[in-house]
Amino acid sequence: VQLQASGGGLVQAGGSRRLSCAASGSIFSINVMGWYRQAPGSQRELVSTITSGGSTNYADSVKGRFTISRDNAKNTVYLQMNSLKPEDAAVYYCNLQHRVTPYSRVYDHWGQGTLVTVSS
C-alpha cells in the first residue's frame, strides 16, 4: 500500500491550503483515513480523522478552521485548511487504516509527509 500526499507549501497567515492523500495498492476496505502533523521539536499529533461512514474528528486547535473529507471511489482524503496560523506549520502526514481482505486485521500505513509553512 502506498500513500501519496501532496499540497504542502508556503502560505501566509490567514490563508488557505488543501492537502490531498491518495491511497493505492492492496486495499479491500478503508476503516479510517486521517491527518497528523509534527512540528520541529514536537511529537506527532492528531489533526483530523474520517471514518468510512463519514464520521469526523478534529483536534481542538483546528476545529472550525480545517475540514476533512474523502472520496471513497478514489481512496483519497483531503484536508482543507483555512485561517492558517503560524502554529499550524508542520509536516503533515496522512494515515490509513484498512483491511486487505474482509476478514484480515486492520493495517496501519503512513504517508511520506508534506510540509506546510505558515509565514506571519
pLDDT tens, position by position, 20-43: 999 999 888 888 999 999 999 999
Q: Give the model's pLDDT for residue 60.
A: 98
Q: Give the model's pLDDT for residue 49.
A: 98
Q: Cα-flanking dihedrals φ and ψ of residue 39, to 5°?
A: -90, 155
Report the Cα 109 to chain-centroid distance in Å: 12
Kindly tell me the burial class for residue 51, based on how many C-beta atoms sit within 10 Å of its own C-beta (0-12, 13-18, 19 or more): middle
Q: Give the model's pLDDT for residue 56.
A: 98
* DSSP-assigned letter for residue 106: P
Q: Give the model's pLDDT for residue 30.
A: 87
Sequence-distant (6+) residues with CB within 8 A of 95 are 32, 33, 34, 35, 36, 49, 108, 109, 110, 111
Q: Give the model's pLDDT for residue 59.
A: 98
Q: Give the model's pLDDT for residue 54.
A: 93
Per-residue pLDDT of 56-113, as tens digits, reads 999 999 999 999 999 989 999 999 999 999 999 999 999 999 999 999 999 999 999 9
The cell for 14 is 490567514
The SS3 assignment for 118 reads: strand
| Distances 92 to 27, 46, 56, 100, 104 between C-alpha atoms, Å | 22, 10, 17, 25, 28
